[in-house]
Structure 1
Amino acid sequence: MVGEEKVKGPASYFPSIEKKYGRPISEWQAVVRAALPAKHMELVSLLKDQHGMGHGHANAIVAHTLAEDAG
């Protein structure tokens, strides 16, 4: 398996998030970005309360999205 790099950090959750909730990560990122400039934990709560997402999955999406947007 030369050349394969294991995905680490928040993105490691993405395959299970897409499978469990039936939407691509890009759609979840759009939900997060639409709620900006909310704070990190407010965004996590939004995904949990309005979309039934678990804390770890919600936190992974928010953390990755905010980091991506920060450059």
Structure 2
Amino acid sequence: MQALSIGAAGMMSAQSRFETSARRTATAPLDTLAEETVERLQARTAFSANAAVVRTADEMTGALLDMLA
């Protein structure tokens, strides 16, 4: 199912954004602290949204399989 792969890719992208932001904060903690905090919050929200897509796709697949059984 395409929704699963899209959701998984979105989760990986959000994780990468979060880790990159954390590394930037570690190297220059006070220069762009507010911007990096916002970036990490956005990455966390994107990860959660993509996880919801994966959960919903999984539930829909299960429902479809139940109907076909």
TM over 0.5: no
TM-score, normalised on structure 1?
Answer: 0.34
| Structure 1 or 2: more helix by fraction | 2
- Structure number with greater CO (CA < 8 Å, separation at least 6) is 2
Which is greater in Rg? Answer: 2
